[in-house]
Amino acid sequence: MTVRQQAWSWGVAFAVFLGLLYLLGDILTPFVAGMAIAYLLDPACDRLEGMGCSRIVATCIITGTFFILAIVLLLLLVPLITAQIVNFAQNIPDYTTALREKAVFVIGLLESRLGPDELAQLRDAFSAVSSDVVKFFLSMAGGLASGVESLLTLASLALITPIVTFYLLRDWDHIVAKVDGWLPRASADVIRTQIRLVDDTLSGFARGQATVCILLGSFYGVGLLLAGLDFGFIVGFLTGLISFVPYFGMLVGLIAGLAIAIAQFGEIAPVAIVAAIFAAGQLLEGNVLTPKLVGDRVG
- For the stretch 129-179, pLDDT in tens is 555 555 555 555 555 555 544 555 566 677 888 999 999 999 999 998 888
| Structure confidence at residue 51 (pLDDT) | 92
Rounded percentage of the chain residues whose pLDDT exceeds 70: 77
Residues 178 and 131: their CA atoms lie apart, in Å, by: 56
Q: For residue 208, what are the CA distances in angstroms to 68, 200, 219, 291?
A: 21, 12, 16, 10
| Structure confidence at residue 169 (pLDDT) | 94
Runs of H (alpha helix) within the chain: 3-23, 25-50, 55-110, 116-149, 155-170, 172-181, 188-226, 232-241, 248-264, 268-284, 296-298
| Structure confidence at residue 149 (pLDDT) | 47
Which backbone phi and psi does 179 adopt, to 5 degrees? -65, -35
Quick check: helix, strand or coil at residue 223?
helix
Is the CB of residue 59 less than 8 Å from the CB of residue 170?
yes
- For the stretch 55-71, pLDDT in tens is 999 999 999 999 999 88
| Structure confidence at residue 141 (pLDDT) | 54
Residues 113 and 4: their CA atoms lie apart, in Å, by: 70
- 215, amino acid identity: L
